[in-house]
């Protein structure tokens, strides 16, 4: 058992439902107790979806426990088959059905017009993202094999170079905007899009996937299994580069161009980088200079976490103190991607560890998920949201891609707006800040931690937060020293304060006056 307050990735069935409801005319039937159809609320609310979410529950109740669910599941399948005539019904197991250990596979041989498959996911082994990746591959494989059996597979490539975009799905972070941006880029390169799956895709078209020359998997989390399958089975190449940021978008285009043997792509990259994207110019502009060396922390899914880390480090000249991901199943890949672009790497799905890391490093800005946004609020550190899980404000009505050249503009805005603006920063520095808030040690973000640290007799081995902000000795700040520290801009003040206290502790100093402060400054170069 694990004491948990919050989770980054949802349970497995959510991944399956996201794939199923992204396709057109596919219906999912969850084998779940009452109340587990919460997915419908999320889709309807977050995506502001106009249509009914094609997910129903085959409700597991006491009677089902007594009699088994076969009859009810079959009834529900045949009923949906008649009512909505979907092309495909995906029977979706949940944590409940996992432990009931019924042979759901035996229920899917129903006499129905629609195809019926059982999603092959285990609640206790995979999370939302892994389940989505698997289910997409499962559906693609099912229809390729079906077409093969009926001898309907046509493997001839399209006349013009074409690609499939794999992994765009409902409730994905800015997926719709990203998809539009990628299509625009491909169009500019003279490449046609054969299919986008699963979002808006039809399962009837899946058998035509092999007609594309190349498969594109923009996000690390969902689509790789499908691309691998198409490569193994039909020898179709794929690229898994995420075109996020100026450099990676360039790389992405070059990779496509090489495989498809396109001409003149360098001039296209050049023209887009200089005229569509403002990010390269922004990085040179005097504004961005003020961001040089500022400390940032990045946390998110593997794709966005890694891409953002590299953008901040090599395109904007920031210092990424820590880069992390909650995709613990993909830790090795992530480490490799951010190697050399950050000081340390954090792989965890426990948000309190992220919170402790942020408290310890005290960055000038945080780029993370909705959870990091709240951590930032608590610590008074500005933050930008770059990855799921997100809330409704990140399902924007306006055009906000993160990928491609327009994406670079959006990211530049996001980063720049997250920091205290340059001039304001200088003024704060010059006039010692305009906030008259009394400086007390920032209350730790959770009373739990205070108590924990006390109960451990001040060993403080596990929580960076308490280590950073709670002095070991009772330190006294003289009036002069207090006045002096008020002059330090608010966003670095805590850092300076904790450095001075660290210095005092190390040197067994109990009273902090101006002399101690300057000595600390010399020793840490922190002020």
Partner 1 sequence: MTTSFSETLKFECESGNYHTFCPISCVAWLYQKIEDSFFLVIGTKTCGYFLQNALGVMIFAEPRYAMAELEESDISAQLNDYKELKRLCLQIKQDRNPSVIVWIGTCTTEIIKMDLEGMAPKIEAEIGIPIVVARANGLDYAFTQGEDTVLSAMAHRCLLSNQRKKFINSDNEVVLFGSVSNSIATELTLDLKKQGVKVSGWLPSQKYTNLPTLGEGVDVCGVHPFLSRTATTLMRRRKCRLIGAPFPIGPDGTRAWIEKICQVFDIEPTNLHDRENKVWGNLENYLKLIRGKSVFFMGDNLLEISLARFLIRCGMIIYEIGIPYMDRRFQSAELDLLEKTCHEMNVPLPRIVEKPDNYNQIQRIRELQPDICICGMAHANPLEARNISTKWSVEFTFAQIHGFTNAGNILELVTRPLRRNLLIFKD
Residues belonging to the active site = 287
What 3 state SS string does 90-122 have? EEEECHHHHHHCCCHHHHCCCCCCCEEEECCCC
Choose, by CB under 8 A, the member of 25, 68, 95, 441 that binds partner 1.
95
Q: Please, what's the largest Cα pairwise distance for the chain?
A: 86
Residues in 141-160 that interact with partner 1 by CB under 8 A? none
Q: What is the DSSP string of 294-355?
A: -EEEEEESHHHHHHHHHIIIIIS--EEEEEEES-GGGHHHHHHHHTTTSSEEEE-S-HHHHH
Tokens of 238: 């794929």
Instruction: Check residue 5 for interaction with partner 1 (CB under 8 A).
Output: yes
- Are 16 and 128 in contact by the 8 Å Cβ rule? The answer is no
Distances (CA, A) of 493 to 360, 425, 498: 13, 13, 9
The terminus-to-terminus CA distance of the chain in angstroms comes to 45
CB of 379 to partner 1, least distance (A): 13
Distances (CA, A) of 252 to 29, 241, 246: 38, 6, 10
The span of 89-97, 276-284, 329-337, 498-506 binding partner 1 (CB under 8 A) equals 89-97
- In the shown chain, the binding pattern of residues 25 to 64 toward partner 1, with x for contact by CB under 8 A and - for none, equals -------xxxxxxx-xxx-xx--xxxxxx--xx-xxxx--
The order of strands in the sheet holding 26-32 is 55-59, 26-32, 88-93, 115-118
What 3 state SS string does 54-70 have? CEEEEECCHHHHHHCCH
Instruction: Check residue 14 for interaction with partner 1 (CB under 8 A).
Output: yes
Choose, by CB under 8 A, the member of 67, 82, 113, 125 that binds partner 1.
125
Cβ distance to partner 1 smaller for residue 33 or 464? 33
CB of 123 to partner 1, least distance (A): 7
- In the shown chain, the binding pattern of residues 435 to 464 toward partner 1, with x for contact by CB under 8 A and - for none, equals -----------xxx--xx--x---------
Residues in 290-349 that interact with partner 1 by CB under 8 A? none
Choose, by CB under 8 A, the member of 180, 183, 184, 374 that binds partner 1.
374
Cβ distance to partner 1 smaller for residue 463 or 495? 463
- In the shown chain, the binding pattern of residues 185 to 214 toward partner 1, with x for contact by CB under 8 A and - for none, equals ------------------------------
Cβ distance to partner 1 smaller for residue 11 or 404? 11
Instruction: Check residue 397 for interaction with partner 1 (CB under 8 A).
Output: no
Give the footprint of partner 1 on this chain (CB under 8 A): 1-7, 10-11, 13-14, 32-38, 40-42, 44-45, 48-53, 56-57, 59-62, 65, 76, 83, 94-96, 98-100, 123-125, 127, 371, 374, 391, 446-448, 451-452, 455
């Amino acid at each position: 058992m694990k004491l948990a307050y919050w989770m980054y990735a949802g349970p497995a069935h959510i991944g399956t439902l996201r794939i199923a409801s992204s396709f057109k005319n596919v219906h999912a039937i969850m084998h779940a107790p009452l109340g587990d159809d919460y997915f419908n609320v999320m889709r309807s609310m977050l995506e502001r979806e106009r249509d009914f979410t094609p997910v129903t529950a085959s409700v597991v109740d006491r009677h089902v426990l007594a009699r088994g669910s076969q009859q009810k599941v079959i009834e529900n399948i045949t009923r949906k088959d008649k009512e909505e005539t979907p092309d495909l019904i995906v029977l979706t197991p949940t944590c409940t059905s996992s432990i009931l250990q019924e042979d759901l596979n035996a229920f899917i041989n129903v006499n129905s017009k629609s195809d019926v498959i059982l999603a092959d996911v285990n609640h206790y082994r995979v999370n939302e993202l892994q389940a989505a990746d698997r289910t997409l591959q499962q559906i693609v494989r099912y229809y390729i094999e079906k077409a093969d059996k009926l001898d309907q597979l046509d493997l001839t490539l399209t006349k013009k170079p074409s690609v499939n975009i794999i992994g765009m799905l409902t409730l994905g972070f800015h997926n719709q905007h990203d998809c539009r941006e990628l299509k625009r880029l491909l169009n500019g390169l003279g490449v046609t899009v054969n299919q986008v799956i699963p979002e808006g895709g039809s399962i009837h078209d899946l058998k035509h996937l092999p007609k594309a020359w190349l498969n594109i998997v923009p996000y690390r989390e969902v689509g790789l299994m499908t691309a691998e399958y198409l490569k193994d089975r039909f020898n179709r190449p794929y690229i898994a580069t995420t075109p996020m940021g100026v450099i990676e978008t360039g790389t992405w285009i070059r990779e496509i161009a090489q495989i498809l043997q396109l001409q003149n792509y360098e001039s296209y990259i050049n023209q887009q980088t200089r005229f569509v994207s403002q990010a390269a110019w922004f990085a040179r502009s005097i504004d961005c200079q003020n961001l040089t060396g500022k400390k940032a922390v990045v946390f998110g899914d593997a794709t966005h976490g890694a891409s953002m880390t590299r953008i901040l480090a090599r395109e904007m000249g920031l210092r990424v103190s820590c880069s992390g991901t909650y995709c613990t199943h993909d830790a090795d890949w992530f480490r490799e991607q951010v190697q050399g672009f950050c000081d340390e790497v954090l792989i965890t799905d426990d948000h309190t560890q992220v919170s402790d890391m942020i408290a310890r490093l005290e960055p000038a800005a945080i780029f993370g998920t909705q959870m990091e946004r709240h951590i930032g609020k608590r610590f008074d550190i500005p933050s930008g949201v770059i990855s799921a899980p997100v809330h409704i404000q990140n399902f924007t009505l306006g055009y906000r891609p993160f990928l491609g050249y327009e994406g670079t503009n959006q990211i530049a805005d996001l980063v720049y707006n997250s920091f205290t603006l340059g001039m304001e920063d200088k003024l704060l520095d010059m006039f010692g800040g305009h906030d008259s808030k009394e400086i007390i040690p920032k209350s730790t973000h959770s009373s739990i931690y205070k108590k924990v640290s006390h109960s451990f007799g001040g060993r403080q081995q596990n929580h960076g937060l308490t280590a950073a902000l709670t002095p070991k000795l009772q330190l006294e700040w003289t009036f002069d020293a207090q006045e002096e520290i008020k002059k330090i801009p608010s966003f670095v003040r805590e850092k300076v304060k904790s450095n001075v206290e660290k210095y005092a502790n190390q040197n067994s100093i109990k009273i902090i006056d101006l002399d101690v402060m300057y000595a600390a400054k010399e020793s840490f170069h922190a002020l």
